[in-house]
Every structure is written in structure tokens, then in C-alpha cells.
Structure 1
Amino acid sequence: MEGTIIKGIGGFYYVKTEIETIECKPRGKFRYDGLTPIVGDRVRISIEGGKGVIEEIFERSSELIRPLVSNVTQAFVVFAAKNPDINKDLLNRFLVLCEYNNIKANVCLNKIDLCSEEELRKFKEGLNNIGYELIPINAKEGYGLEKLNQKLKNNVTVLCGPSGAGKSTLLNKLTGKTLMETGEVSKKVGRGKHTTRHSELIEIEHGFIVDTPGFSNIDITFIDEYELQNCFPEFKDFNGKCKFSSCVHNKEPKCAVKEAVEGNKISELRYDFYIKTLEEIQRGKKRKW
């Protein structure tokens, strides 16, 4: 039989097949091959003595480290309009991570009752200009969730974003169940309590959804300095048009991306974030040497 690993606890993996969910142990060969089954894996299993055994792990289309989950096809990147305020640097990091892993990013702006129509318009316009859709929602009231439900079909969707943005509330609303605890935003530090405990695929709308722990920062400096430019959709029309084929759009002369920034075709703020990240990657590379 074939199926999908929806949960892993203490060396046991729960595989959902077309018929039922079966508790399985992996073959010892995976340990020798340095391959560990993870949530999201498509697998082939057999039954021996009434027990499930994972025989094969199929090739992964994507693999995230935090949460440790494979074959994700899209992300709901959840940020709150206020309380806590939007950290645009962190938002950019999530977007870059999605692009690097070939995951479609949908930016969900929660708590929209806390912002003005003009603030919402500007934020939506800024995202549209760099190639992303903004979905305004109010998870607590259920506003905007119909559109998200439509996007869940035939996808493995990951919820990501900072603590306090309302991811657990959103997950509970989408599933119609209290699957994850919700925590109030700490007034002292301006972020939510870390309420999510583990990763688990939940079947919904002919697809799967997985929640992630909230966190205040993510590291993207593992990305190669030459690959980073491919994680910015707005650079696409200009990559490869520079004077030098090895151009990383920083200090090189006759750079098409820099000219696009000067001509207001690329956001200066996004370009500044790109340079900041590029320099972090290059500094890390030097330290390794």
C-alpha cells in the first residue's frame, strides 16, 4: 500500500492510506542510508504480523527544516495587521524561504479590523508589486476564510508566521475543531506564547494542512549567494541581463537589477533587504574559510 505520513511520535509513524491510518515502523535500512522518514513523506508500506512497516520513501518535492515536513506545496504566511505590528524584515525572510523551497506563498493579513482601509491598500499594493497575493482575514470572526478553504484543495499547506499572528486560531477555524491551543500576545515583548507543540498533517478539503511553532526570526544565510537572486520574483525580468553573467546585483557595474531599482521598477526597500541578506551570506562564507 501507499500513503502519506501524517504524524511521527517516538519512532512510530502514522501513515494515512486510502483505506485507513496505520501505525508503522521504518525498515532498519533507512538508518544505514542516513534517511529518516518525516511528516509529509509519501511512502510504500507492508503489513507483517499485523504491524505496519515502511518499505520505501518516495522522492520529496520539497523539504522544510522548521517544521520538519516534506512535500509542502503552498504556505499561508500569516501576519497580524497590528498587535504585534508587522515585521517586514521577517516577512521578507519567510517569502525568500518559500521561493527557495519552490512553495507558493499566500500572505494572510490577520486582525484587519485593527488597520485602516488606506493601510490595507498600501500593504496590498506593495505585495502585488513584488508578485504576491494578499488575503485579508479576521480569523477570530471567520472573515476571509472561504477563500483560504478553496486554496486548500489538493495541496499540502503549511501555516507560518510570527508568534501572536493568530495561526492557531486560523487553524482551528479552518478545521472546525480546537486542534491547537491559542495564546494571548504578551504585552511585555509584543509576541505570542509558543503554543504549538508539534507538526502533524491534518486532512482538510481534499488536502493536508500543518501548523508550525511561531518564532521571531529565521535564518536564510544557508542559501548560496548566487541562488539568492532567484528568490526575489521581481528580479526575474532582469536576471541575466547584466554586463557580467556572475553578477549578484551588488557592486558590479552595468547591473540590470540596480538600474531597475533606480528606475522604480523594483522596490528600493526590497532591494535593500536583498543586499543586507547577500552580505550576511557572504560574511558567513568567509567565516567558514
Structure 2
Amino acid sequence: MSDLVGLVRAVQANYYRVRLREAVNGIEELLCVRRARLKKMGQQVCVGDWVVVTHPDWPGQRGAIAEILPRRNQLPRPAIANVDQIFLLFALADPPAEVHQISRFLLTAEGLNVQIHVVFTKADLVLLPVQQQWRDRLHQWGYACDVISLTVGNDWQCLQPRLAHKITVVCGPSGVGKSSLIRHLTPREEIRIGAVSDHWHRGRHTTRHVELFPLLQGGWIADTPGFNQPELPPDPQQLAAAFPEIRQRLSKDRCLFDNCCHDQEPGCCVRGDWERYPLYLEYLHELEALTSPEPFLGNLPRVKVKSDSQGQPRLEPLLDPKKYRRRSRRQQHQHLNPMAEEVLDSEL
């Protein structure tokens, strides 16, 4: 039989669940391993990859992945290939929506060059003016936005036309309803759902690995392991490009300097009274502190940027490695006489 083509829908340990493009003998999915040649070439098989499967064992429903077809794109974390769009989910309450956290997720998504759609959940826990406020806010930032409830009514069905015939990745903090949304959209799948912590008012991680779930109207959707602090772009120019507000201003005008960071430079067309500009400056200065070899000079302490439990950045001093490094037992006993050193050597 000729080679088969299929989509990798799940990766667990060294095994890959591959959904065949066309069912054979009534079998739609094979449990596959990766050929040793791919491993030697350093080719990683990701969820979302289209692959060539050889030597299918139909009674055992197994096969071997021999080739990875060219990818359109790849998300680095979590590793998913050929993504069409990202749904960023945030809760309006329990835990409440927060501009800083939303912006960090948006900046991460902007660097992936895929379509972004924002979804606010738990609409049943807030008043209509609050819902409209967030709709208007995201529209001003430059993003499409939906507000839904996953426990009351069926307004979540408005998302289905956006999902048809696409590979969609659902991202966002824990506890906002990612797994609940996917369970509504894929009722035939068994998906774990966790509760929000009563003490921390944050979600508990229920998704342990990445998996694509088939949608009834065609297409695939993936839940992702929750993470609370996405990373900033690697340099200031990429940071500015990740703000639609800045892109919109630069499309109508231009700064005096080509390498303008939109901070204190004269002739900047970006500086102005728009909501997330102070947030942009905060991220810019944080990025400069991270990339500078010596953030503070003179007698001021060297520091590092850390994040607290709420995702807010804070500065911590860098410890002197020579002063705080744990000494070995031999270093601790350098003052011993030669006979004691022989005893120590015998113990070591």
C-alpha cells in the first residue's frame, strides 16, 4: 500500500496520534512512532504537523512517521504547527480581567503572525455596562472581541463560524474557561475542567498536554497548558510593532528618526494620549533593563526583573555569586592540619 498522509493531533511521550486524511478500512487514526532518521536529523514532530506515515499495521492500528511536510508556521510554546488563528480567553470576573495581563498575552500572540481574536467569558457575573466597556476598550486597541457565558445561555455558539475549517489555538490564564469552551464545541470529547481557587482567585491547571480536538463543523481546536506570564518580544522595535495602536499611527505619519523607540525622542508621532501608551513605556523600560549588561551604574545595586503572584514586575538585587556560593567540604576544612585532611579525603 502507498504511503499515507495524516495530521498529528496529539503527542505523548514518544508516541503520536495521527488522524489520516482519508480513512482506510474504517480506521481514521493511527498510533505512530517517529522514524530514527528524523530523530538523527533533529526534526521534531509537533501537534498540527501534516506527516507521511509508512508501514501501517492495520490490525494494531499503528504506523511510523517517515516525513514531516512543510509547515506554514509554528508556535514555539506550546509547540503547535500550521495554526490559523489564536483565541485569547479572559474572564470578566473570578478572576477579573486586568489590562496588564491581557496586554502581555496580546504581545506574545502578535509575534506569531496569526489572526488574533479576544473572547471574554463569565459574562453572567458582570453587568451589561461592564461588558460593553471591555468591548469598546478592545476595539480601541485594535482587536475583535466577543463576550460570552459558558454557563448561562448559548451565546458561545457565535464563535462557531469563526472556527470552521481552521486550526485554532485557545490561550489564556488558567481558570477563564478554556477547557469549558472546548467541551461545548466538542461534546464527544472527554475534557477535564478545574475550579478557581477560593484563596488565590486564580485557576488551577487542568490541561497537561497539547491536543487537537475535531470540530463538528470542520476544523480543529487545541487547548494549551495555562501559563500566567508570557514573555516580551526580544527587542524594542518588535515591541512597538506588537501594538496595533502604534502600527496605526505609523501608517498615517512617521517619526523623525527611523530607530525611534517612541519614548523621549523628538519628532515622535506615536507619543500621545492613548490608553496603553504608559503600558508600552513600562514594557520598553523593562525590556531595556533585561537587555542592558549593566542596568544600574556607580554605587547603585545590580538588579533583575521578577514577577509577583499577580504578574506585576518587581526588581530584586542580584547576589554576588562568589559571596553566596556554597563552598565544598574541602574548602570548609582548609584550616585543618594535614592529618585531618587525610581523614577528610578518606571520607570523600
Q: TM-score, normalised by structure 1?
A: 0.90
1:275 to 267, 278, 281: 281
Supply the distance in 2 between the matched residues of 1:209 and 1:142 (Cα, whole angstroms): 22
Which residue in 2 is equivalent to 1:160? Answer: 171
1:215 maps to amino acid: F
Residues 236-247 of structure 1: matches in 2 within 5 Å?
236-239=247-250, 241-247=254-260
> Structure 1: any 5+ residue segments left out of the alignment?
none
Which residue in 2 is equivalent to 1:14? Answer: 17
**Does 2:46 align with 1:35?**
no
CA 121–35 in structure 1, closer or farther in 2 if over 3 Å, else same: same
1:211 to 219, 223, 226: 223
Moved more, 275-284 or 202-211: 275-284
Higher relative contact order (CA 8 A, sep 6+): 1
- What is the CA-CA distance between 1:8 and the residue it aligns to? 1.2
2:292 maps to amino acid: K
Structure 1 segments of 4 or more deviating over 4 A?
48-51
Supply the distance in 2 between the matched residues of 1:79 and 1:122 (Cα, whole angstroms): 14
1:253 maps to amino acid: P
**Does 2:159 align with 1:148?**
yes
- What is the CA-CA distance between 1:178 and the residue it aligns to? 5.4
Supply the distance in 1 between the matched residues of 2:246 and 2:146 (Cα, whole angstroms): 23
C-alpha contact (below 8 Å) 1:140/1:169 kept by paired residues: no
CA 115–252 in structure 1, closer or farther in 2 if over 3 Å, else same: same
Alignment size in residue pairs: 281
CA 241–100 in structure 1, closer or farther in 2 if over 3 Å, else same: same
1:227 to 210, 233, 238: 238
C-alpha contact (below 8 Å) 1:198/1:212 kept by paired residues: yes
User: Which whole-Å deviations, capped at 9, do the CAs of 1:130-157 have from their partners, x for residues lacking one?
Assistant: 2111111111235322211111111111
User: Which whole-Å deviations, capped at 9, do the CAs of 1:14-71 have from their partners, x for residues lacking one?
Assistant: 1112222122222223223322111111222222666522222233333223322122
How many percent of aligned residue pairs carry the same amino acid?
33
Which residue in 1 is equivalent to 2:335? Answer: none
Larger Rg: 1 or 2? 2
